[in-house]
């Protein structure tokens, strides 16, 4: 029995489209049919541009192959500006906003032939107040945040790829909860122009797909780094398990995932090694929270000062706490972050990457919150490349996995090792 087009991975689809084995219009229709069948339950989308997507697909089918993403439907997180679709940033304040330009990465991916299928749900200003989206594996569970709609849409086969962003854990945690691959690049690798800012020190754009090859293809198109298309997996990498200073937050499911990874290493003939981060890194979790809070107060200054009554109580509380952080404390937090970033390569020692928790455990059985971002905060502060791998099921048969964390700027290495691990776990 053939696999429906909407269930195929992006890399497979890209090859079929490039050889004209399938048409972009066929693929778009398959995705739209899935959305029609499931959106009432999953609620992943703010806006679906069905007519425009079909017209774009028909034009692509008539012309030459346009680029790496030729004919691939993409979900756009509703934090990213789009010239042809409304952008709300997850807030009623911007219910009627129509941007005059695309975000940089949206424009670059359109140039590479991507079809923007619609806007996916984000939490309120990509913070902590949930949107309407449900976890497609179990509709009573959160999909995570803030890239909730993007993760749910990819997991439910509505679209092969979707944009995400991370200031704390908003790529990795939704990927973990929804059982897909999430890639948060090194800080600064992908241009953020046209994406609503939260923190200049932390904001990082990311990519969601259903395999490591899929997110590598997406990132290659968005960043221009085509070396990411070729991930050599024949050589065993140097990997260590890293429980991190936040290990006490991990529940039994994440602990079991770590044990499972260790057993896979052992069966493959690799020595199981562990890396302990320096004691000086123990304060980074709190520093990230305070830097994010301080920056939010300023990034959302208009909304806080002029439209406060339209913000959720939860966001108003976050902003209130951010106002308590002095400029001197902020400078001290930034200095701590700078020092840790300078030391992190040495802290990795002989290892190319570490394998660390992605989330506390399975997606919580709630729609009123998006889960604890504790296991993403420090890696985001350090600006390191992270790739979530969904390879395990927890005690309630919901997805669990771990994240591959690479050295600063060594995104290709992180993706290469993630691809190698993907093979071992499969």
Query: Could you give the residue numbers annotated as active site?
Result: 77, 146, 170
- What is the C-alpha separation between 107 and 168, in angstroms, rounded? 25
Helix (H) or strand (E) holding 253: helix 252-267
Answer for the pair 264, 258: CB distance below 8 angstroms, yes or no.
no
Residue of 239, 244, 214 lying closest to 229 (CA atoms) = 214
Residue of 281, 220, 244 lying closest to 68 (CA atoms) = 220
User: For residue 95, how many other CB atoms are within 10 A of its CB?
Assistant: 9
Q: Is the peptide bond between 247 and the residue preceding it cis, with omega within 30 degrees of 0?
A: no
Number of residues that make up the chain = 426
Residue 88: C-alpha distances to residues 45, 119, 275, 364 (Å): 12, 9, 42, 26
392 - beta bridge partners? 400
Map tokens 């930034």 to a residue: 334
Answer for the pair 285, 378: CB distance below 8 angstroms, yes or no.
yes
């Amino acid at each position: 029995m053939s696999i429906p087009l909407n269930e195929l991975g992006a890399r497979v689809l890209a090859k079929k489209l490039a050889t004209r084995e399938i048409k972009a219009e066929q693929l778009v229709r398959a995705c739209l049919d899935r959305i029609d069948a499931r959106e009432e339950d999953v609620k992943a989308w703010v806006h679906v541009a069905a007519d425009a997507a079909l017209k774009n697909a028909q034009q692509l089918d008539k012309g030459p192959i346009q680029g790496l993403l030729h004919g691939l439907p993409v979900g756009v997180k509703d934090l990213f500006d789009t010239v042809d679709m409304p952008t709300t940033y997850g807030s009623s304040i911007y219910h009627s906003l129509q941007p005059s330009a695309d975000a940089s990465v949206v424009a670059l991916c359109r140039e590479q032939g991507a079809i923007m299928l619609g806007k996916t749900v984000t939490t309120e200003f990509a913070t902590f107040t949930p949107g309407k989206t449900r976890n497609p594996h179990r509709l009573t569970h959160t999909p995570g945040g803030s890239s909730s709609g993007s993760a749910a849409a990819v997991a439910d086969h509505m679209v092969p790829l979707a944009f995400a962003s991370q200031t704390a854990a908003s790529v990795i945690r939704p990927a973990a909860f929804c059982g897909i691959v999430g890639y948060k690049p090194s800080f600064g690798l992908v241009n953020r122009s046209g994406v609503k800012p939260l923190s200049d020190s932390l904001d990082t754009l990311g990519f969601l797909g259903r395999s490591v090859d899929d997110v590598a293809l997406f990132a290659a198109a968005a960043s221009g780094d085509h070396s990411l298309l070729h991930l050599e997996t024949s050589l065993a990498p140097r990997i260590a398990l890293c429980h991190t200073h936040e290990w006490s937050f991990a529940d039994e499911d994440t602990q079991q995932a770590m044990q499972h990874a260790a057993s896979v290493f052992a069966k493959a003939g690799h020595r199981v090694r562990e890396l302990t981060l320096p004691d000086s890194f123990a304060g980074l979790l709190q520093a990230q929270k305070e830097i994010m809070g301080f920056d939010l107060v300023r990034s959302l200054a208009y909304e806080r000062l002029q439209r406060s009554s339209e913000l959720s109580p939860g966001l108003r509380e976050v902003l209130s706490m951010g106002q308590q952080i002095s400029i001197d404390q902020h400078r001290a937090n930034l200095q701590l972050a700078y020092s840790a970033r300078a030391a992190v390569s040495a802290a990795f020692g002989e290892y190319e990457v570490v394998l660390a928790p992605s989330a506390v455990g399975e997606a919580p059985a709630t729609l009123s919150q998006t889960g604890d971002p504790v296991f993403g905060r420090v890696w985001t502060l350090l600006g390191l490349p992270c790739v979530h791998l969904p390879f395990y099921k927890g005690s309630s048969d919901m997805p669990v996995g771990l994240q591959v964390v690479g050295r600063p700027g060594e995104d290709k290495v992180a993706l290469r090792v993630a691809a190698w691990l993907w093979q071992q776990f499969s």
